[in-house]
């Protein structure tokens, strides 16, 4: 359950942290390692047991805290489970009733559609702006590049909740700096304008916040990729008369295709399950019914209204959707690491 890592946009799994584990020529080393393992088998049993012993603590925690609730979630989604069951009433199995109810509920489809649209808009914006900023960074002088990097890092480092609170203050109806600055334009008076009441405008604000926090990751990752594109190839293309766009389209993009794909998938995953930003923004002002995305909806249905069965069914549906989206990412990670 990668709530935090993926939620905070701090650190996606395989994609970022740490040096690459397996370098080419590793096979030989693997063989050496086997040899060592065998050599160690003077105390035969001990060595055979060791990896298991090392894995037991982590596996136990994961099984108990992730595995068991996951099983529970599946079970609940097939039961009648409301407030009464929380207080000990028996929970009868109802087959696929919960799923039928959820899938027959117009609100669910509305929320799902909203989440998909919102995620799509945010992913496109973050990828587009992030790529542009990355390209910009390759063409800046050292000092300016450092300046931009520092700015991006600060935006990236802000905790998601703090970011929402601060932006909420900037967008404040009465005293927000944004309304003030806009009102300085001739003929514009925005003082007293509420940005969060209208759902579309609410999602506009949410998009600003999320884009502000996602562009740094996209920009840094793609910039790092750009620095790996061989300059000789680019120069040759330039000599052959390729303009900037053509060079990006036919040389840079193919080189960075796998990076683009992985980053896009991570963004889709993050934006589809967005919770903190929407939930906190609703608390600042905004109409819950018209602005919930799927993560917030699960919270409202289960914790808010106490319908754990429906919440469970929606949660299982979300897990399935997320697994389908991340399948490529997981496959790519496995391939990249030559497992």
Partner 1 sequence: MTPALVRRRVSTVVLSAIAIVVFVASVFPVYWMLNSSFLPNNAIRGPVPHFWPDEFTLRNYETVLGDGGRAPFLPALMTSLTVTLITVAAALLLAFLAALAVTRFRFTGRRSFIIAILLIQMIPGEAMIVSTFRVLDGWQLLNTIAGLTIVYVATVLPFTIWTLRGFVGGVPIELEEAAMIDGCTRMQAFRRVTFPLLAPGLVATGVFAFIQAWNEFLLALVIMQRPDMMTLPVWLRTFQQATQTTNWAAIMAGSTLMAIPVIIFFLIVQGRMTSGLVAGAVKG
* Contacts of partner 1 in 185-244 (CB under 8 A): 191, 212, 216-217, 220-221, 223-225, 228-229
CB closer to partner 1 out of 203 and 223: 223
**Length of the chain (residues):** 339
CB closer to partner 1 out of 203 and 318: 318
Give the shortest CB-199-to-partner 1 separation in angstroms: 20
CB closer to partner 1 out of 236 and 258: 258
CB closer to partner 1 out of 40 and 289: 40
Instruction: Check: CB of residue 271 under 8 Å from CB of residue 3.
Output: no
Give the shortest CB-90-to-partner 1 separation in angstroms: 15
3-state SS, one letter per residue, for the chain: CCHHHHHCCCCCHHHHCCCCCCCCCHHHHHHHHHHHHHHHHHHHHHHHHHHHHHHHHHHHHHHHHHHHHHHHHHHHHCECCCHHHHCCCCCCECCCHHHHHHHCCHHHHHHHHHHHHHHHHHHHHHHHHHHHHHHHHHCCCHHHHHHHHHHHHHHHHCCHHHHHHHHHHHCCCCCCHHHHHHHCCCCCCCCCCCCCCCHHHHHHHHHHHHHHHHHHHHHHHHHHHHCCCCHHHHHHHHHCCCCHHHHHHHHHHHHHHHHHHHHHHHHHHHHHCCCHHHHHHHHHCCCHHHHCCHHHHHHHHHHHCCCHHHHHHHHHHHHHHHHHHHHHHHHHHHHHCCC
Among 27, 30, 83, 253, binds partner 1 (CB under 8 A): 30
Is 322 an interacting residue with respect to partner 1 (CB under 8 A)?
A: yes
Give the shortest CB-251-to-partner 1 separation in angstroms: 13
Give the shortest CB-208-to-partner 1 separation in angstroms: 10
Is 304 an interacting residue with respect to partner 1 (CB under 8 A)?
A: no
CB closer to partner 1 out of 155 and 242: 155
Site for partner 1 in 60-89 (CB under 8 A): 61-62, 64-66, 68-70, 72-73, 76
For 161, residues 6+ apart whose C-beta sits below 8 A from its C-beta are: 276, 280
Among 140, 188, 233, 246, binds partner 1 (CB under 8 A): 140
Cα angle: 276, vertex 277, 282; to 5 degrees: 100
Among 96, 169, 253, 328, binds partner 1 (CB under 8 A): 169
Other C-beta atoms lying within 10 Å of the C-beta of residue 121: 17
CB closer to partner 1 out of 10 and 116: 10
Give the shortest CB-236-to-partner 1 separation in angstroms: 18
Among 19, 25, 92, 192, binds partner 1 (CB under 8 A): 19
Is 2 an interacting residue with respect to partner 1 (CB under 8 A)?
A: yes
Site for partner 1 in 38-57 (CB under 8 A): 40, 50-52, 54-55, 57
Among 83, 100, 128, 159, binds partner 1 (CB under 8 A): 159
Is 124 an interacting residue with respect to partner 1 (CB under 8 A)?
A: no
**320 forms bridges with which residues in the sheet?**
none
Site for partner 1 in 103-122 (CB under 8 A): none
Is 339 an interacting residue with respect to partner 1 (CB under 8 A)?
A: yes
C-alpha to C-alpha distance for 53 and 179, rounded to whole angstroms? 60
Among 21, 84, 117, 287, binds partner 1 (CB under 8 A): 21
Question: Looking at 92-100, 119-127, 192-200, 275-283, which segment touches partner 1 (CB under 8 A)?
Answer: 275-283
């Amino acid at each position: 359950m990668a709530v935090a890592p993926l939620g905070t946009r701090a650190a996606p799994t395989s994609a970022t942290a740490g040096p690459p584990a397996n370098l080419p020529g590793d096979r030989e080393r693997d063989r050496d390692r086997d040899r060592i393992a065998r050599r160690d088998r003077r105390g035969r049993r001990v060595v055979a047991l060791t990896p298991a012993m090392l894995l037991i603590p982590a596996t136990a925690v994961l099984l108990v805290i992730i595995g068991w609730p996951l099983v529970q979630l599946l079970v609940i989604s097939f039961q009648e489970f409301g407030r009464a069951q929380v207080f000990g009433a028996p929970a009868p199995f109802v087959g696929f009733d919960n799923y039928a109810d959820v899938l027959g509920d117009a609100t669910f489809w509305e929320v799902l559609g909203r989440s998909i649209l919102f995620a799509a808009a945010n992913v496109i914006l973050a990828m587009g702006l992030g790529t542009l900023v990355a390209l910009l960074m390759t063409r800046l002088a050292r000092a300016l590049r450092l300046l931009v990097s520092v700015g991006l890092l600060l935006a990236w480092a802000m905790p998601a909740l703090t970011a929402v609170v601060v932006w909420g203050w900037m967008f404040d109806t009465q005293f927000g700096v944004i309304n003030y600055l806009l009102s300085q334009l001739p003929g514009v008076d925005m003082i007293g304008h509420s940005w969060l009441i209208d759902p579309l405008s609410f999602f506009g604000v949410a998009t600003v916040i999320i884009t502000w926090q996602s562009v740094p990751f996209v920009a840094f990752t793609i910039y790092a990729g750009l620095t790996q594109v061989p300059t000789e190839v680019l120069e040759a293309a330039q000599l052959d008369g390729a303009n900037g766009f053509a060079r990006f389209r036919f040389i840079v993009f193919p080189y960075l295709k796998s990076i683009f794909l992985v980053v896009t998938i991570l963004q889709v995953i993050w934006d589809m399950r967005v919770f903190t930003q929407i939930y906190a923004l609703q608390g600042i002002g905004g109409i819950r019914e018209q602005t919930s995305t799927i993560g917030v909806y699960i919270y409202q249905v289960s914790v808010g209204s106490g319908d754990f069965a429906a919440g469970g069914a929606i949660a299982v549906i979300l897990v399935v959707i997320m697994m389908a989206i991340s399948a490529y990412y997981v496959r790519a990670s496995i391939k990249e690491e030559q497992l």
